[in-house]
């Protein structure tokens, strides 16, 4: 009778995985137990925080208060989440996140309200100026537009000056006085910007377009501040020469648009771009030339914006009887 051959038992080479899994499980339990019984050392934590603050260049840090009742993270002993505790005491109410959120919401709402009010004011001023321009048939040479930085009133040079001159004409004086009466109630800073086309000018009074643009802006500032409607510390004069065109200089119409003086009523968020007036200088009617050719408060200095140079001299705002202008 033949003997049945028995197959040899195969060697299971994966048995080590069982031991490895048990070891990993034990290590996990060990670290969980260590974490659950650990405690926060408040002094050590404070020392580390102060060291980091000094290393990062900060000043003396405020002390971080850590509640003594907190002994460290604890493991949940049941499937239910911990109950939320509440207190009706006034101190706890002040420190709740809800109170902080309400305060932030009120601040945000107030900020949005200020912006909305400012936008309405700008719209009202623009409407008044458009009506004034239409009544005097100058809507093509006095154009107002709303930009990100604020309300921009562009006045072409033909409405203000004779060709190649910075002298304010009598009719232009009357127009600027009417414009200043519209702008007077607004507390915003007003930046007067002189611009020219790219055709060079070389005269004894104006060696370049820089001097012409600055002096034109300065003369307009003197008119706006001279009648007392607008406080001089809210005004500044800037000359951009030919470097801020709004149209192509290749055509006569484009060059005519570029020869202009812009009155920019800045939004309040751009207040930091204007230097604060020194105490007692608000009504002086003159100021020193700032770097970049900017003159504040009806300045009598002419300078260049980019080159940073200037020539000091008296400024004539124009004279003669004012022409009739419809308000």
| Ramachandran area for residue 318 (φ above 0: left; ψ -120 to 50: alpha; else beta) | left
Please report whether residue 239 resides in a domain: yes
The token pair that represents 267 in the structure block? 């939004």
d(CA 107, CA 92): 22
Q: Are 238 and 261 in contact (CB under 8 A)?
A: no
169 CB-near residues (< 8 Å, 6+ apart): 160, 161, 162, 318
Beta strands in 48-149 (DSSP E): 142-147
Tens place of pLDDT per residue across the chain (327 aa): 566 666 666 666 677 888 889 999 999 999 998 888 876 667 777 777 777 777 666 555 455 444 444 444 444 444 444 444 444 444 444 444 555 555 555 555 555 557 788 899 999 999 999 999 999 999 999 999 999 999 999 999 999 999 999 999 999 999 999 999 999 999 999 999 999 999 999 999 999 999 999 999 999 999 999 876 799 999 999 999 999 999 999 999 999 999 999 999 999 888 777 666 665 554 333 333 333 344 434 333 343 333 333 333 333 333 344 445 666
What's the pLDDT score for residue 289? 36
Any domain includes 96: no
pTM of the model: 0.55
Which pLDDT score is estimated for 215?
97
Residue 101 inside a domain? The answer is no
Question: Does 47 map to a domain?
Answer: no
Q: 135-169 b/e with 16+ CB inside 10 Å = b?
A: ebebeebbbbeeeeebbbbbbbbebbbeeebbbbb
- Around Cβ 269, how many Cβ atoms within 10 Å? 13
Residue 250: give its domain's CATH number. 3.30.1330.60
320 within some domain: no
Distance CA 273, CA 191 (A): 10
Residue 60 located in a structural domain: no
> 277: domain range?
114-312
310-312 and 150-156 beta bridge pairing: unpaired
Strand 190-195 vs strand 260-266: parallel, antiparallel, or unpaired?
Answer: antiparallel
* Residue 108, pLDDT score: 52
Number of domains into which the chain is organized: 1
What is the pLDDT, as a whole number, of residue 117? 87
Instruction: Find tokens 């004011």 and name the residue.
Output: 121
pLDDT for the residue 195: 98
Residues 6 or more apart in contact with residue 317 via CB below 8 angstroms:
168, 173, 219, 222, 223, 226
Helix axis angle, 170-183 to 97-135, nearest 10°: 150
Q: Is residue 45 in a domain?
A: no
**Where are any strands of DSSP class E within 56-196?**
142-147, 150-156, 190-195
Look at residue 193 and tell me if it is in a domain: yes
């Amino acid at each position: 009778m033949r003997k049945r051959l028995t197959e040899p038992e195969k060697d299971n080479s994966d048995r080590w995985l069982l031991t490895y899994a048990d070891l990993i499980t034990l290590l996990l339990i060990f670290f969980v137990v260590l974490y659950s019984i650990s405690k926060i050392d408040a002094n050590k934590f404070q020392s580390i925080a102060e060291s980091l603050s000094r290393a990062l260049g900060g000043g003396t840090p405020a002390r971080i208060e850590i509640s003594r009742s907190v002994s460290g993270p604890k493991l949940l002993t049941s499937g239910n989440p911990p109950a939320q505790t509440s207190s009706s005491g006034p101190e706890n109410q002040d420190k709740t996140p809800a109170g902080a959120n309400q305060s932030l919401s009120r601040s945000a709402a107030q900020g949005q309200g200020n912006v909305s009010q400012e936008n309405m004011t700008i719209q009202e001023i623009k409407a008044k100026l458009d009506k004034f321009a239409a009544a005097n048939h100058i809507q093509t040479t006095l154009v107002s537009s709303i930009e990100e930085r604020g309300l921009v009133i562009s006045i072409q040079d033909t409405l203000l000056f004779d060709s190649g001159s910075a002298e304010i004409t009598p009719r232009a004086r009357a127009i600027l006085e009417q414009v200043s009466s519209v702008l007077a109630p607004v507390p915003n800073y007003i930046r007067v910007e002189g611009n020219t086309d790219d055709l060079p000018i070389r005269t004894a009074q104006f060696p370049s377009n820089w001097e012409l643009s600055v002096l034109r802006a300065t003369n307009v500032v003197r008119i706006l501040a001279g009648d007392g409607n607008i406080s001089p510390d809210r005004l500044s004069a800037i000359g951009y020469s030919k470097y801020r065109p709004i149209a192509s200089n290749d055509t006569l119409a484009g060059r005519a648009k570029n020869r202009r003086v812009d009155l920019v009523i800045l939004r309040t968020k751009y207040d930091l771009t204007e230097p604060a007036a020194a105490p007692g200088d608000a009504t002086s009617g003159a100021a020193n030339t700032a770097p970049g050719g900017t003159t504040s408060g009806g300045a009598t200095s002419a300078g260049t914006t980019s080159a940073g140079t200037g020539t000091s001299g008296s400024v004539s705002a124009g004279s003669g009887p004012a022409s009739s202008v419809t308000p």
